[in-house]
């Protein structure tokens, strides 16, 4: 069965109704991120019917919008004013092929794109939000200003909480100017170790670097600025780095859209693992991977994408990341067939217990996307 | 300011409590009246309360044992870094101990490859930058109190500074913490990587004002120092011109490293104090700073100059060397003590507003302060809308302290009414606690404050701060949906 609220008030009645009937809910927008979505539940909570107006205030660097707003619509809207979501939310389309999803889904999944080390993560750009808790309470948190420390930071807690604590209905984001010009340097690097060294060296350059990735034997280094300054930055970088090829303008933009979302990287039946870890541990992970695995690095080396052929469903990537980075890294399978290896490794016990207590305070009946709760269902 | 009623049975056990804690931290318990007195207040000097005892642990294990003992024995705990909070975050409780973290004063490791440093919470903000300067790195958040304030306090308050618009407050620059819960549990949240697994508990803990746990170690992000930093000093005939100029800079797609504003009383006080070369015949002064490569900085400053000229800028100077840039900043960074020279006492207020409301809110501030018979000087983090009116008063004149407090509260309510918030960087503490309901609904506050039950179910860590009331955690496992009725209408206020 499915709940499909048309208003927030309806939503706030449906949640307690589901709780009373002991019915768990799969909280979702357009269902574009099945690999990290709500998982199995007794009923669907379909949020696409919850509309509302969009308030973009370019001068205040603020955007307030309903959670159900399509992500590609947000990006087009901002581009009209020369602005962007600086955390570069990856489109889920290349991974799951179910469209670009909603801004609510982007915030609930909390994923950040290539600009994460340079401009901050998704959680750093969510200034305020409204939603409904698992108790059916309509609430607002954060604010509609750039700098705010009033009260507990629920916007950060709820970003990336995957619909397991509250159902998001409205979001206020910090938006930033989109650099009008960009170029990418391509530098040969046949191993992850070389790539990480080149990137570390490049990051000591002081010149508008907003992306540093590695794939197919090549480091990609993005430089963004105003059109009058960009040539000087590119020249300065090339003078201090090994020989490189230059890509400019729209070709550079297309390259980074692909890096952010794995377009053209993942094959149709690849198993996809996403592994944040300290950049200097990426070479150790590379050394542990079997020959048929393909590795891509983003976030200046601090995000490893491991692409495995369909036959490698039983490779314990959690174990490999733990071996390479100890407690400082973790792994999640975003796509792949069911396997004895869980998509996420259990949290350390103290953290799991605390996470379960947090979940229970928002959602005492444990009905909001329980299968996706990081500490396990309460 | 009403604090929770002290527990008489705890007060009666003072000697016994001090002795039990001294068994855990043998050389680190102060329990005599003269010894605890220096801990009686923080940067919000209007309030003073001596604690039951002061405990100065050296290790995480000691912190864990002290908290576990206090948890088991119903003793409240207020953690304290350097005691520079401007909102009373470290104000002691009569029936609680102060857990002073000053002995946690070491930088444990610096990892230049992964651009992070692991530091103990008692290390001062500036000491982090100083320790890594020889490698060309620095720690970006720079609260004005950075020579004194501690990293632990910065984490507790999510402290800001004058470069937040571009570099963020503490939270985006914090990668991990070791956290001790009230029951003694030691947890690690985050680490040297760029993302933690599970809920963003690190984000929740940062800025939680000492209510959720005690930080015993912090992993902070460090950055290479920009090749160049240069500043413009811009004078305007009116606050409205300066404010329009700020809006135009942002609208042009420029995010300066710093964008500060001062009004005429603040300009004159600062100039008299440090002789920074500020023009004293303008109504608003702006410092706009650009950093990065020489090409980027030159480009940004040229564009800002052009915009300023189109907004009636009457005074414009660009720093030509580092000494001059620092002199431009010296006046702004000394604005608080400068106002302290012309008024016997001043009260620093901290609210954020949408920038376009600046003119209207400054008008309201003047009216509020005048109504209370007081004076005001304004400094303003113009880029992100964070206002700091400095309300001038004389504590030796009966009634003026209360008038300053009342004016501060009215100013903050005016900020909220203009679409803003109660605090941009100083925290709620005791100072703004009873104003929370002006910004948030009862349900909004309940959704936040009940999180304390997951971390500190007995409400022993820094109670009386941040929230007007605390939830009864024992009842939290049930649903409380009664058609929008108050969850606990019968609960008394502190």
- Phi–psi pair at A131, nearest 5 degrees: -175, -170
- Please, are residues A317 and A275 in contact by the beta-carbon 8 Å criterion? yes
Rounded CA-CA distance A15/A207 in Å is 50
A280 touches chain B (CB under 8 A): yes
Instruction: Please give the pLDDT value at position B2.
Output: 82
Instruction: Please give the pLDDT value at position A71.
Output: 96
Instruction: Please give the pLDDT value at position A205.
Output: 82
Question: Does CATH number 3.30.465.10 belong to domain A1-178+346-378?
Answer: yes
Question: Does CATH number 3.10.20.90 belong to domain B228-335?
Answer: no
Rounded CA-CA distance B85/B157 in Å is 8
Helical ranges in A243-329 per DSSP H: 249-261, 282-288, 317-325
Q: Is the pLDDT of residue A199 over 90?
A: yes
Other CB atoms within a 10 A radius of the CB of residue A190 amount to 10
Q: Smallest CA–CA separation between B186 and chain A, in Å?
A: 8
Same fold, A181-261 and A271-335: yes
In the beta sheet, which residues pair with residue B285? B235, B262
* Cβ within 8 Å, pair B444-A140: yes
CATH of domain B343-431: 3.30.70.2740
- Please, are residues B493 and B469 in contact by the beta-carbon 8 Å criterion? yes
Candidates B158, B199, B441; nearest CB to A157 = B199
Please give the structure tokens belonging to residue A220: 């990609």
Q: What pairing do the DSSP bridges indicate for beta strands A271-276 and A303-308?
A: antiparallel
What residues does each domain of chain A span? 1-178+346-378, 181-261, 271-335
Please list the rounded mean pLDDT of every run of 10 residues in chain B (494 residues).
89 97 97 96 93 98 98 98 96 98 98 96 98 97 93 97 92 98 98 96 98 98 94 96 93 94 96 94 97 94 97 96 94 90 93 92 96 96 94 95 96 97 96 96 97 97 93 66 40 43
Instruction: Please give the pLDDT value at position B84.
Output: 95
A114: closest chain B residue by CA = B194
In the beta sheet, which residues pair with residue A91? none
Mean pLDDT of A116-128: 97
* Cβ within 8 Å, pair A228-B481: no
Interface probe with A: pick from B447, B450, B486, most Cβ of A within 10 Å: B447
- Please, are residues B151 and B118 in contact by the beta-carbon 8 Å criterion? no
Instruction: Please give the pLDDT value at position B470.
Output: 80
* Cβ within 8 Å, pair B292-A207: yes
* Cβ within 8 Å, pair A204-B427: no
* Cβ within 8 Å, pair B192-A362: no
What residues does each domain of chain B span? 8-100, 107-224, 228-335, 343-431
CATH topology of domain B8-100: 3.30.43
- Please, are residues A34 and A96 in contact by the beta-carbon 8 Å criterion? yes
* Cβ within 8 Å, pair A60-B453: no
Q: 3.40.50.1370, 3.90.1010.10, 3.40.50.2000, 3.30.70.920: which CATH number matches A181-261?
A: 3.30.70.920
In the beta sheet, which residues pair with residue A65? A171
A23 touches chain B (CB under 8 A): no
| pLDDT tens sequence across A295-312 | 999 999 999 999 999 999
- Please, are residues A47 and A15 in contact by the beta-carbon 8 Å criterion? no
Chain B residues with CB under 8 Å of A358 CB are 199, 201, 451, 454
Other CB atoms within a 10 A radius of the CB of residue A233 amount to 24
Chain A residues with CB under 8 Å of B476 CB are 360-361, 364
Question: Does CATH number 3.30.465.10 belong to domain B107-224?
Answer: yes
Question: Does CATH number 3.30.70 belong to domain A271-335?
Answer: yes
Q: What predicted TM-score, i.e. pTM, was given to this entire model?
A: 0.96
Instruction: Please give the pLDDT value at position B1.
Output: 74
Same fold, B228-335 and B343-431: yes
The model's confidence at residue A376, banded by pLDDT at 50, 70 and 90, is: low
Nearest to B378 by CA among B363, B394, B362, B393: B362
Interface probe with B: pick from A145, A277, A284, most Cβ of B within 10 Å: A145
ipTM value greater than 0.95:
yes
């Amino acid at each position: 069965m499915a709940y499909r609220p048309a208003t927030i008030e309806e939503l706030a009645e449906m949640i307690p109704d589901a709780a009373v009937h002991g019915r768990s809910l799969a909280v979702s927008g357009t269902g574009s991120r099945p690999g990290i979505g709500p998982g199995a539940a007794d009923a669907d909570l379909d949020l696409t019917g919850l509309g509302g107006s969009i308030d973009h205030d370019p001068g205040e660097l603020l955007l307030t919008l309903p959670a159900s707003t399509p992500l590609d619509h947000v990006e087009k809207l901002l581009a009209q004013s020369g602005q962007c979501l600086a955390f570069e939310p990856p489109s889920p389309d290349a991974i799951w092929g179910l469209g670009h999803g909603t801004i609510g889904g982007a915030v609930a999944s909390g994923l950040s794109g290539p600009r994460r080390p340079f401009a901050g993560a998704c959680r750093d750009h969510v200034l305020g939000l409204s939603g409904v808790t698992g108790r059916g309470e309509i609430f607002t948190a954060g604010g509609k200003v750039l700098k705010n420390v009033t009260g507990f930071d629920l916007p950060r807690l709820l970003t990336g909480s995957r619909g397991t604590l509250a159902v998001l209905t409205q979001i206020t984001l910090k938006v930033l100017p989109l650099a009008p010009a960009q170029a990418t340097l391509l530098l040969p690097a046949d191993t992850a170790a070389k790539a990480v060294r080149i990137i570390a060296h490049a990051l000591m350059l002081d010149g508008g670097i907003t992306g540093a990735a590695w794939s197919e034997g090549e480091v990609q280094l993005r430089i963004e600025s105003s059109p009058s300054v960009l040539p000087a930055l590119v020249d300065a970088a090339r003078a201090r780095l090994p020989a490189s090829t230059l890509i400019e303008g729209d070709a550079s933009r297309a390259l980074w859209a692909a890096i952010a979302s794995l377009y053209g990287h993942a094959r149709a039946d690849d198993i996809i693992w996403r592994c944040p870890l300290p950049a200097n541990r990426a070479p150790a992970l590379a050394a542990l991977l079997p020959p048929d695995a393909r590795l891509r690095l983003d976030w200046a080396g601090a995000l490893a994408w491991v692409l495995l052929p369909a036959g490698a469903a039983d490779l314990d990537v959690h174990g490999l990341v733990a071996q390479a980075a100890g407690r400082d890294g973790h792994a999640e399978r975003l796509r792949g067939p069911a396997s004895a290896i869980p998509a996420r490794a259990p949290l350390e016990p103290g953290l799991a217990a605390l996470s379960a207590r947090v979940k229970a305070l928002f959602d005492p009946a444990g009905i909001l996307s329980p299968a996706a709760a990081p500490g396990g269902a309460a | 300011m009403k604090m929770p009623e002290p527990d008489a049975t705890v007060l009666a056990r003072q000697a016994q409590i001090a002795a039990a804690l001294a068994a855990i931290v043998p050389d680190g318990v102060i329990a005599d009246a003269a010894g605890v007195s220096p801990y009686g207040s923080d940067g919000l000097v209007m309030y003073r309360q001596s604690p039951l005892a002061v405990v100065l642990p050296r290790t995480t294990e000691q912190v864990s044992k002290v908290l576990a003992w206090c948890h088991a024995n119903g003793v409240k705990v207020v953690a304290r870094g350097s005691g520079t909070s401007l909102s009373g975050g470290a104000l002691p409780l009569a029936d609680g101990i102060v857990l002073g973290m000053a002995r946690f004063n070491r930088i444990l490791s610096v990892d230049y490859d992964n651009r992070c440093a692991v530091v103990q919470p008692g290390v001062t903000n500036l000491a982090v930058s100083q320790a890594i300067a020889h490698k060309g790195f620095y720690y970006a958040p720079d609260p004005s109190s950075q020579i004194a304030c501690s990293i632990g306090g910065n984490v507790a308050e999510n402290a800001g500074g004058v470069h937040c618009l571009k570099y963020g407050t503490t939270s985006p620059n914090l990668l991990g913490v070791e956290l001790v819960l009230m029951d003694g549990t030691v947890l690690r949240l985050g680490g040297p990587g760029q993302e933690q697994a599970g809920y963003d508990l690190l984000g929740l803990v940062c800025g939680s004002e000492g209510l959720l746990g005690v930080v015993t170690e912090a992993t902070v992000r460090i950055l290479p120092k920009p090749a160049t930093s240069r500043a413009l000093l811009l004078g305007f005939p009116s606050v409205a011109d300066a404010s329009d100029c700020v809006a135009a800079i942002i609208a042009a797609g420029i995010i300066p490293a710093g964008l500060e504003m001062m009004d005429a009383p603040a300009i004159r006080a600062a100039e008299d104090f440090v002789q920074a070369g500020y023009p004293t015949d303008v109504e608003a002064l702006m410092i706009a700073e650009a950093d990065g490569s020489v090409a980027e900085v030159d480009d940004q400053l040229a564009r800002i100059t052009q915009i300023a000229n189109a907004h009636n800028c009457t005074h414009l100077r660009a720093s030509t060397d580092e000494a001059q840039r620092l002199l431009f900043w010296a006046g702004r960074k000394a604005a608080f003590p400068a106002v302290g020279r012309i008024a016997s006492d001043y009260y620093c207020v901290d609210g954020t507003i949408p920038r376009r409301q600046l003119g209207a809110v400054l008008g309201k501030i003047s009216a509020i302060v005048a109504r209370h018979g007081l004076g005001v000087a304004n400094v303003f983090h113009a880029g992100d809308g964070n206002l700091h009116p400095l309300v001038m008063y004389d504590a030796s004149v009966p009634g003026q302290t209360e008038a300053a407090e009342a004016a501060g509260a009215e100013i903050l309510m005016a900020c909220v009414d203009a679409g803003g918030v109660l605090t941009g960087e100083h925290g709620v503490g005791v100072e703004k606690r009873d104003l929370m309901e002006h910004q948030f609904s009862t349900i909004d506050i309940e959704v936040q404050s009940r999180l304390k039950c997951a971390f500190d179910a007995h409400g022993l860590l820094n109670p009386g701060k941040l929230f007007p009331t605390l939830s009864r955690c024992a009842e939290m496992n049930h649903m409380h949906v009664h058609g929008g009725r108050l969850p606990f209408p019968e609960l008394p206020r502190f």
